[in-house]
Amino acid sequence: MTPKTFFTPGPSALYFTVEDHMKQALKEQIPSISHRSKAFESIYAECVENLKQLLQVPAHVHIFFTGSATEIWERIIQNCVEKESYHLVNGAFSARFHETALELGRKAEKTAAPYGRCVKQEHIRIPETAELIAFTQNETSTGAAQPLEDIYATKRKYPEKLVAVDVVSTLPYINLNHDIIDTSFFSVQKGFGLPAGLGVWIVNEKCIEKAKSLQEKGYSIGSYHTLPALLDKGKKNQTPETPNILGIYLLAKVCGDMLRKGIDTIRKETDYKAAVLYHAINQHHAFTPFVSDSAYQSKTVIVANTQTDSLEFIQKLKEKNMHIGSGYGSYKNSQIRIANFPAHSKEQVEMLADEIAGL
């Protein structure tokens, strides 16, 4: 039997080179080096450089490291919103981003789409007073993806507002234009195929200026992970705290491997694998895609309704060593979720599609 493969939407399968990089890191005792050493600074620099190249992040845009994407929700609100943010909500993760703003005492309005859909661009109406617009480009809970053109059109309509984009379960697949939006972020256990415990925050100068202006007005913007603190240390290729050194090392290496493979190849393969998976779901008598409008169907998290208890299907696939996700929250027993990340090879996805056909 084939080895166990995690098609779960996060944590998910490790990128195939992680094992060797992890062995090498242990051999070099990377987890023991000082985060104030030259050795760490060069790992940090390699990681930022590889990320910038892979994700086509312009030189003037900053990349910082945090503990998770959940942390970045909080940091964006603390650093970039004085009074009011506005949220496009289409699932559990975007709802949590909105709640975070409320918990931090901000006024936070939202427009919510029914689960399985996205708010249509022409229905996006943003209060004059909102300072930041939050999108979740790929809702991992529902498999609904907001087309990038919707996000760009919203920014064009409201150029003075900051636009934040959660791309946790869609990078490196999605070709995000970092010159248009102001900030985006992800954690590494989804599309990058790495162990959890590292968040990556991509930030332009406007966000830094906003954080500084809030600080000058006497607002608290947090403590060790404020944008000015991250920038100050980042200039020296360091972090304010003792970071996940192993995680940063592994991310640098995996980004290097992805660069050698080529981002265009990764994107083409993702499209091909998504087509194979949607085909398998459309052909199956008991499955239908949760996101019915194909314009909003995620390529990286495929969600299907199941006619009968989804756990039965999940269990049968598990017996074949293929681990797929259950539905999220209240959809636990009525849906399946399948991750289609760069770590999942074409062969693995084809095998999964064959097994789905036989269910």
Ligand X SMILES: *Cc1c(COP(=O)(O)O)cnc(C)c1O
Positions that interact with ligand X (CB under 6 A): 10, 68-70, 93, 136, 140, 166, 168-169, 187, 196
Counting DSSP H helices and E strands in the chain, the numbers are 11, 15
Distances (CA, A) of 282 to 116, 153, 238, 268: 16, 32, 49, 21
Q: How many alpha carbons lie under 13 Å from residue 121 in its C-beta half-sphere?
A: 17
Smallest gap from Cβ 218 to ligand X, in A, equals: 30
Smallest gap from Cβ 358 to ligand X, in A, equals: 29
Smallest gap from Cβ 153 to ligand X, in A, equals: 21
The Cα angle at residue 198 between residues 2 and 241, in degrees rounded to 5: 150
Smallest gap from Cβ 9 to ligand X, in A, equals: 7
Smallest gap from Cβ 12 to ligand X, in A, equals: 10
Smallest gap from Cβ 340 to ligand X, in A, equals: 14
- CB of 303 within 8 A of CB of 319? no
Element (H, E) at 305: strand 301-306
Q: Which residue lies nearer to ligand X by CB, 70 or 121?
A: 70
Q: Which residue lies nearer to ligand X by CB, 182 or 355?
A: 182
- CB of 299 within 8 A of CB of 291? no
Q: What backbone torsions phi and psi does residue 76 show, to the nearest 5 degrees?
A: -65, -45
Question: At what angle are helices 38-54 and 245-261 packed, to 10 degrees?
Answer: 40
Q: Which residue lies nearer to ligand X by CB, 75 or 284?
A: 75
Smallest gap from Cβ 166 to ligand X, in A, equals: 5
Report the alpha-carbon distance of residue 63 to residue 295 in Å, rounded: 30
Full DSSP string of 180-240 = TSSEEEEETTSTT---S--EEEEE-HHHHHHHHHHHHTT----STT-HHHHHHHHTTT--S
Cis amide prior to 3 (ω within 30 degrees): no
Q: Which residue lies nearer to ligand X by CB, 284 or 325?
A: 325
Q: Would you mind telling me the total number of residues written for the chain in this entry?
A: 359
Q: Which residue lies nearer to ligand X by CB, 64 or 93?
A: 93
Q: Which residue lies nearer to ligand X by CB, 194 or 353?
A: 194
Smallest gap from Cβ 100 to ligand X, in A, equals: 10
Q: Which phi-psi region, left, alpha or beta, contains residue 262 (left: φ > 0; alpha: ψ -120 to 50)?
A: left
Q: Which residue lies nearer to ligand X by CB, 144 or 353?
A: 144
- CB of 302 within 8 A of CB of 337? yes
Q: Which residue lies nearer to ligand X by CB, 69 or 258?
A: 69
Q: Which residue lies nearer to ligand X by CB, 110 or 284?
A: 110
- CB of 289 within 8 A of CB of 281? yes
Amino acid at 66: T
Smallest gap from Cβ 68 to ligand X, in A, equals: 3
